[in-house]
Amino acid sequence: MGEDSQTSCNVNILTLNCWGIPRVSKDRDVRMKAIAEEIACSKYDVVCLQEVWKNEDFKLIKSIVFETLPYSHYFYSGVMGSGVCIFSRYEMTEALFHQWQLNGYIHKIFHADWFGGKGVGLCQVLVNGLRLNVYTTHLHAQYDCDNDEYLAHRLIQAFDLAQFIRVTAGSADLCVLAGDLNVETEDLCLQLILEYARLTDAMTKAGHDCMSTYYCSRNSYTKKNSKLLAQGQRIDHILYRSGPRFKVELTSHDYSFRERIPGTDISYSDHEAINSIFRLTKRSTADVSNYLDDLDFYDQGSDLKSLKGSLLKSIQVCNHALSQLRRDRVWYKCFFAIFSTFLILISLFDPHLPFLRSYNIVPVVITLILVFCCLMAFLWNSMEYNGVLCGKSTMKIALRRTQWYRRGQRKRQDKTGSQDELLSEEEDYSDE
């Protein structure tokens, strides 16, 4: 960041998923050190990292980049830690972490998202009177494109993230969300974040058609026979919005790190690092006034239409998830009843069936299944059901608010004779 902060300045922000899963990620020790050295010799003002799961890796990166980025914060959460952290050239004045209430399943050990305690981290950076709100996050992964069992979880996380930004953005001169969102450009989750938090996509603004950040052909960890090799996936994003005092112009958005770590034939991560450079220019008094008048983006007809469509689709996903959860609860209760009966029969007839005594593993396994079904039916299912219901109810509040503004628009347009297309006031967003 440079120039006169009272009139204009530049901000350089980087994000990277470091792929730092202990005992799973390949070449982790070599890559973590190389990532830190690459950051240390560059001119980034703020660096957002994800999947830094091991505390020793965070400390290593911190020690190497300290002279360039002396301020840092790791967002501790869950069993393994959230995996997300922020490094800054300038002092951090506030830090806050909001953990998702829905984040996968504890029994899906190989997916492990639940153990990470994922959420969104916020660091407020103060630079010569300018306030930057930097958000970093890592949404739930998508493990099966054809049967995405975590769609409702990720969608509610996305809406929760957008709400968090709306509530905390305040009068920040620049808000930037940088992280692994695990959603692609046309995904409903990304559209909901952009529309509800009033963010701009840096890649789209820069005019790029596509910038793959995962399964990228240039990456050494991409399997050469991968079906996604041709186009890759763009799941790492930098999104931003301006504040009332300064206009924000995106001057650059591109890949950051070299394709290979010097002296090796491996990439820095299985994801690609991206960075954006923003130019902040102070607004005139009249511009500030206009910005504040237009601060509530529900007043904008085009945003209103797309936002309402996204909310309606999101509520439909929640309805489907709630129906599935009700069915699951019935099945868990049925299995609980069946295996309970089987266990009782074994205990009753065991004296007359000596061969069962040589297979004591049978009642043990049945007991474990009973415990699992009991926990899922009466504890976990209820927690997930309430989590989805909570997300849906907040979406409905936002949807009702769009209707309220829509009626105000109609009254204003009736007075001016405008014939612009409006959304139907009778569109259904029922619970079922």
Active site residues: 271
Residue pair 393/340 in contact by the 8 Å Cβ criterion: no
Can you tell me which residue has the tokens 């394709």?
Answer: 259
How many angstroms separate the CA atoms of 130 and 364, rounded?
63
How many angstroms separate the CA atoms of 65 and 71, rounded?
9
Nearest to 320 by CA among 106, 153, 146: 153
Instruction: Please state the length of the chain.
Output: 432
**Distances in Å between the alpha carbon of 84 and those of 39, 136, 138, 155, 405?**
16, 7, 7, 20, 37
Residue pair 54/61 in contact by the 8 Å Cβ criterion: no
DSSP type of residue 89: S
Nearest to 152 by CA among 358, 313, 354, 366: 313
**Taking CA 53 as the corner, what is the angle to CA 218 and CA 186, rounded to the nearest 5 degrees?**
50
Give the three-class secondary structure for 371: helix
Taking the alpha carbons at both ends of the chain, their separation in whole angstroms is: 51
**Pair type for strands 130-137 and 174-180:** parallel
Residue pair 19/269 in contact by the 8 Å Cβ criterion: yes
Residue pair 334/370 in contact by the 8 Å Cβ criterion: no
How many angstroms separate the CA atoms of 71 and 322, rounded?
43
Can you tell me which residue has the tokens 């997916």?
Answer: 111
